[in-house]
Structure 1
Amino acid sequence: MSQFNHPPLVQPALSREIAPGVLVIPDQHIDLVPNIGIVIGTDAVLVVDCGMGRENGQQVLHKAMEVAAGKRLLLTTTHFHPEHAFGAQPFKGYATILTNTTQADEMQEKGAFFLTLFRDMGPDVHKALEGVELVMPDETYQGEKTIDLGGKQVVLRELPGHTRGDQIVFLPHEQVLFTGDLVENRLFPIFPDQDASVGQWSEALAQMIRLSPQMVIPGHGELGTVELLQEFQDHLLFARQEVSHRVKEGQALERIDQEGSQIIKERYREWGNDRWIPLEIHSMYSEITGEPLILPAF
């Protein structure tokens, strides 16, 4: 877990407009850097995710203020994990921070643990997280909330799966969808703890597919279309079926881990981050059998 390809630095200079008034700062395939959105209305500007740590947050804030040109700023995060939400510190006092209530609760409960966990992932990550303080939102909502930025409507919707407090950000007119880590492009999903649920995750993907977005911005990886949602859903269903039929055959978790991991890796040989396959299998095994989650060794 300590091997990463580059320092986790957001690069706002590489932002590009993917739809009128919608910018994306791409992750550049850098570990622990998310795809970040900036949505520009006539009255306000919304930032979707802020990167990890104060330096990244400051860079994103500077870009947002540049394009806002004095308009009101808002920040929302797709979930509480460090690379998506732990850059919020510089936004305090400059933007209204808004998330769903469950995400705020999860930040309160788990934020300090994840801060410690990530700081142990290597010197670059530790440096990025220096001086970070957990930031709670100024406003919260439950279920769904629509924001009018002025000529641009944005829908925030709670859809748990990867975490207990995931939310998507959808622009119905532009048909643009920010998924957070509910979707990755050709990267294996991460089941971070016992609150991740393949059942809820699959339902979240079904709801996103029904939105029929023309542009999908995953948490990490290249931008895509609705086919990206379907591909990711198919993976979850395939992996769960692989684990389920082995459970029914009475196979032990160790064997399911070894053989199932190989089959999943072979089917999705072009996908990255295959180190997370065992955690996916263990999480699915726990959900299917009702047994406590046993974390695999990495």
Structure 2
Amino acid sequence: MGPGPGPGSGLGSGPRGSWRTHGISVEGYRHRREGVPCQDAWAEAATGPEHARVVVLAVADGAGSRPQSEVGSALAVRLATAYFAERIGATRLFANGSGGAATDGEAAHALLGDTFLEVRDEFLRRTGENGGRPDDFATTLTVVVLAPTWIGYASVGDGFAILRAGADGGTPLYHLLPQPESASEYSNETVFLTSREAPRWIRTECVLDPDADGVLLSTDGLAQAAISWFGGRAVDPNKSFATAVFRSLDNPGPDPRADEEALAALLRSDRLTALNADDKTLLRAVRT
């Protein structure tokens, strides 16, 4: 799978510097019934010295209607983790502790956006080789960069990320990072990495918060479970869902395989399938 474990493996992701990570992808009900492989993918990569380790996380959801979507999502997360790790490893922007100035934020947004565009360019180049059609590999892509003092986010499509930061009377607070807007207010169609208008709809965010100690990324298969909605728009994270999925990573059991099987069973459960029958990906990280 490249820089991180492959789709659905979810193993071998122990502590990396100051972050413990874990990812899993499972096929949706329709794909299980029809014997179709999971078209989601996830990956991770780390860069920098142990005392200032930066971790890059990525999830992608291949367009189910496209013949090479499974290949496209795997390629997208592989390129994203490699490119972001390389670019951010070459700068101290995310590693230093003196952030907070407006120029730092502007530089961070520029770095995230420019790197995302580089990933897209390379994705189009590779999928277009030998007469290929990039649209056959269409996929969404969501990337999160975790560093000692900064958290960066870049996304196109309907993936999402939830940040755990701060507490209210001892209760963790969860924040939904802003999702990219739809290409049209009259359309619920997703913008893909290969979409002509994709550069216009890339969303970047930078968070400078020393209390941030957890993040989860997902494809849209978990959107109804993980997010509260109003009028068709995402409003807030579902606190009970976020608390539950962070709990097993904050306090892992003695048997990693048992934890993995329990999480896979949850993602395949009738309760979550009734909300959304699509493939599901959950990539989590918590500070150790």
TM-score, normalised via structure 2 length: 0.31
Q: TM-score, normalised by structure 1?
A: 0.30
More strand by share: 2
- Which has more radius of gyration? 1
